[in-house]
A and B are shown apart, each in its own frame.
Chain A
Amino acid sequence: MSPLPPGLAPRLVSFCEELRGEGVAIGTSEILDAFEALDSVPWTREEDFRETLAATVAKSQEDRRVFELLFDRYFFRAAESEALDRGIGEDHRYDGGDGLDLNELREAVRQAIADGRDGEMRDLARLAIAAFGRQGEGSGVIGVDVQRIRRTLGLQSQRRGKDGDVELEREQINKFERHLRRELERDLIERTEKLPPSRPLAELDRALPTSPAQDLAAVHRAVAQLKKRIATLGHEQRGRRRGAVVDMRRTMRASLDTGGVPLKLKYRPKHPRRPEIYVLCDVSTSVTSASVFFLSVLHALHDSFRKLRSFVFIERISEVTDVFERERDFRSISERISREGGVADVSGYTDYGRVWLEFLEEIVEDLGPRSTVIVLGDARTNGREPHAEVFAQITERAGRTFWLNPEPRLYWNYGDSVMAAYERHCTAAFECWTTRHLENFVNVVAGGTPLVPQG
């Protein structure tokens, strides 16, 4: 096959370096693998090149997502900076935008998107920018421009057109948007003759899709994964022999096979620890996006832990264990909770202090050293009395207390967040806004070791 061109090796290494910077674990051996693999495929085809590289360096779905994001950005920037160095530019790239009828353009774009023709989409993206630039409306902020062009072209997903318009997939529209973005970036680079500073991928790009309702399915996929992991947690330890106790009776029985010589040792099965769990979930508006996610986590937990009691709270607290146990479907659960919960009193703002008082009163008898209390909330009291001392009483009675905060640790204790006052009393407090955080937490609860070090 064609040997790699000389300039490629350092580029690849620096690309891997950038991947490492985003938290993808790449060993030297993997980079070597990548080189070896690229030797045996025609690297001149982008698809092959990308797949080969991905197969050798990105070893999980999460890594693969980061890889895709970075791959596009890295090689786009590399190409652009090379073009700048050599002074290659396209001066008249947006010619021909003048004579265009906006309606024709709209139709053409819709058609191209529906057919998924890549090259055409790129050309049309250029035309759209040209037609758009003619009206002198460019804002200079790429994101804003993209959205404005998209609106002008009337691109919406899954809307059945009245007069036989083609139905567009969201995925396809996103593709077109990427082209728009890319062309605008290129335009900007050529105008300013320098690359914009490279930023780390915003963490939120990779965060859980918690917010709008349409992403519920994505949350569910994440939780379904989690559910499987919880179900197998502890099994790993059960399967191991190390530290197990020999079961004499079964060992003697097995020795009959081997003429009375106990060759095979039989062990007592180890039972994983199944804690009693109390989950308190904030469902107020300040955590709306997160609470959808948390409720579905609760839903998943209910399948896996038998002794689990769930509570939701805003100003007051209410037990919802039976709702979760009776209803299988997540949607009806969230409807019933918002209908029957009765947790909002007047204002709809969280009142942590009152919640602790009520919780303590209701549950104090049952809390014991075997119980684990998990609080899901942002600890924003809206200026009300936090009653940290009541929370301390709860934590004293319970064996372990964990706090999951849907806000990044950076925002804790700013504004009306009183996280520090509560964190003092918790066994541990976690930020929880990606699946990885969540998995880490589940691992701790189930008695495993944390995946990522705290702090």
Chain B
Amino acid sequence: MPDTPDPGSVADVKESLGEVGYLADEPAALVAYLAQRLGKPVLVEGPAGVGKTELAKAISRATGRDLIRLQCYEGLDEAKALYEWNYRKQLLRIQTESGADPAAEAAEWDSVHGDIFSEEFLLTRPLLQAIASTDPVVLLIDEIDKTDQEFEAMLLEVLSDFQISIPELGVIEARTHPIVVLTSNNSRELTEALKRRCLYLWLDYPEVEREMEIVRLHTPEIDEQLARRLVEVVHMVRQLDLKKPPSIAESIDWARALLLLGADDIDGALFARTMSIIVKHRTDMDLVAERVGMKLGGVQGLGAEAAG
């Protein structure tokens, strides 16, 4: 296998991630560095919306590699993840042959047989694409916890040996070493075997300071005071027991919205009007309006307004 490119040091990785718009904290930068250095897959876990998928995208941008994404879902199988033979095309090929002189058919069978199991009739799926690619890539296996355990077992060959065996074609080995990022929302326990092969990173919601940096990086025009206020409110909302706490992306969306509205402070009324950007459940909205809206100086009886 070819050498993995030298990522420099942890600080370099952190900086290059920062340049492409991803502010990684120390552990994230370290794991990204180790992943490139050791060529091991990374398993990223954490609540929804903390930037797990974004991390993989940022690594791909920072290293200049293509991103190949395999979105996992319930019932995902090898045919959708690895490769599939193109039945229709194969049938078509056979039918065109049999249209010809029947005497020649027997002789031609051999050539047809060899022919229909060639790469021309192979539909490559993300995993095979990542392995067979001539340029180094970043392979993102998103929401691995949505699949079943058998699929995980199938991944083991790909992740530890970086090869895929296709019975008709033989073993396809990786020409370059992909950086593999697996994400999980932790909705089920992954198998020990898979975890053992990965580096582990737990991403959590960022601290106020870091989230502020993130928000300001994506909406540079926003006023520092407003950004701080916004992030503090978002943190307050996350403290509550919600069905879906606001993600980082939603803080950014909210910041953009406030910018468009030309707001310079977040008061109760403004919050009530715009909170649908960060809170997206009927019951959550009631709760947030009651707890956070009040704190924001709901002199005008904000709770009643939001409930009505």
Task: Report A412 CB to chain B, min CB distance, Å.
Answer: 28
Interface residues as binary, B72-109 with A (CB distance below 8 Å gives 1, 0 otherwise): 00110000000000011001000000000000000000
Indicate which residue in B188, B199, B200, B241 contacts A229 across the interface (CB closer than 8 Å). B188
Partner of A55, one of B27, B186, B188, B287: B27
Check B196 against A59 for contact (C-beta < 8 Å): yes
Residue B43 at the chain A interface, CB threshold 8 Å:
yes
One of A46-54, A183-191, A334-342 contacting the partner: A46-54
Asked if A361 CB lies within 8 Å of chain B CBs, one says no
A61-B45, A259-B91 are contacts. A55–B200 as well, Cβ < 8 Å? yes
Whether a CB of chain B sits under 8 angstroms from the CB of A228 is yes
CB distance from B120 to the nearest CB of A (A): 18
Indicate if the CB atoms of B199 and A240 lie closer than 8 Å. no
A236 touches B148 (CB 8 A): yes
* Contacts between chains A and B (CB distance < 8 A), count: 93
Residue from the set B26, B34, B287 with the largest chain A CB neighbour count within 10 Å: B34
Q: Total interface residues on B, using CB and 8 Å?
A: 39
Q: Are the C-beta atoms of B202 and A61 separated by less than 8 Å?
A: yes
Residue of B nearest to A231 (CB): B187
How many Å lie between the Cα of A27 and that of B9 in the bound state? 28
* A-chain residues with CB within 8 Å of residue B202 when the two chains form the complex: 61, 64
Within 8 A of B (CB), among A18-66: 25, 27, 29-30, 33, 36-37, 40-42, 47-48, 51-52, 54-56, 58-61, 64
- Complex interface: chain A residues within 8 A of B198 (CB): 59
**Once the chains are docked, how many angstroms separate the CA of A40 from the CA of B7?**
11
**Cα of A58 to Cα of B196 in the assembled complex, Å:** 10
Quick one: given A41-B34, A220-B241, are A59 and B148 in contact (CB under 8 Å)?
A: no
Contacts A60-B195, A64-B202, A236-B149; A40 near B38 (Cβ below 8 A): yes
Please report the C-alpha to C-alpha distance between residue A42 and residue B8 in the assembled complex, in whole angstroms.
12
Q: Give the residues in chain B near A42, CB-CB below 8 Å.
A: 9
Are B40 and A33 interface neighbours, CB within 8 A? yes
Interface residues of A in 192-250 (CB under 8 A from B): 217, 220, 224-225, 228-229, 231-232, 235-236, 238-240
Residues facing A in B43-95 (CB within 8 A) are: 43, 45, 74-75, 87-88, 91
Is B74 in contact with A328, judged by CB distance below 8 angstroms?
Answer: no
B193 to chain A, nearest CB (A): 9
Q: Is B110 an interface residue (CB 8 A)?
A: no
Whether A329 contacts B287 by the Cβ 8 Å rule is yes
**What are the residues of chain A within 8 A of B148 when measuring CB–CB?**
236, 239-240
- How far is the CB of A218 from the nearest CB of chain B, in Å? 11
How many angstroms from the CA of A225 to the CA of B189 in the assembled complex? 11
Q: Give Cα A257 to B92, complex, Å.
A: 12
Instruction: Identify A48's interface contact among B10, B87, B189, CB under 8 A.
Output: B10
Whether A51 and B26, one on each chain, are in contact in the complex, defined by CB atoms closer than 8 angstroms, is yes
> In the complex, how many angstroms separate the beta carbon of A170 from the nearest chain B beta carbon?
13
Contact A330:B34 (CB < 8 A) given known A59-B43, A259-B91: no
Is A235 a contact partner of B186 (Cβ separation < 8 A)?
Answer: no
Residues in A whose Cβ lies below 8 Å from that of B239: 217
Shortest Cβ distance from residue A259 to the other chain B in the assembled complex, whole angstroms: 6
Report yes or no: A41 in contact with B186, Cβ–Cβ below 8 A: no
Q: Identify the closest chain A residue to B94 (Cβ).
A: A259
Q: A55-B200, A235-B74, A263-B87 are in contact. Are A328 and B283 (CB under 8 A)?
A: yes
B196 touches A30 (CB 8 A): yes
- B119 contacts which chain A residues (CB < 8 A)? none
A258, B74: Cβ atoms closer than 8 Å? no
Measured in the bound complex, the distance between the Cα atoms of B200 and A225 in whole Å is 19
Q: Find chain B residues with CB under 8 A from A61 CB.
A: 45, 186, 202
Complex Cα–Cα for A259 and B90 (A): 12
Known: A54-B27, A224-B241, A228-B185. 17 other contacts (CB 8 A): A37-B199, A41-B34, A48-B10, A48-B30, A55-B30, A55-B31, A55-B200, A59-B196, A61-B186, A64-B200, A64-B202, A217-B241, A220-B241, A231-B187, A239-B148, A259-B91, A328-B283
- Give me the interface of B with A, judged by CB distance under 8 Å: 9-10, 26-27, 30-31, 33-34, 37-38, 40, 43, 45, 74-75, 87-88, 91, 147-150, 185-189, 192, 195-196, 198-202, 239, 241, 283, 287
Listed A/B pairs (5) with beta-carbon separation below 8 Å: A59-B196, A60-B45, A257-B88, A258-B87, A329-B287
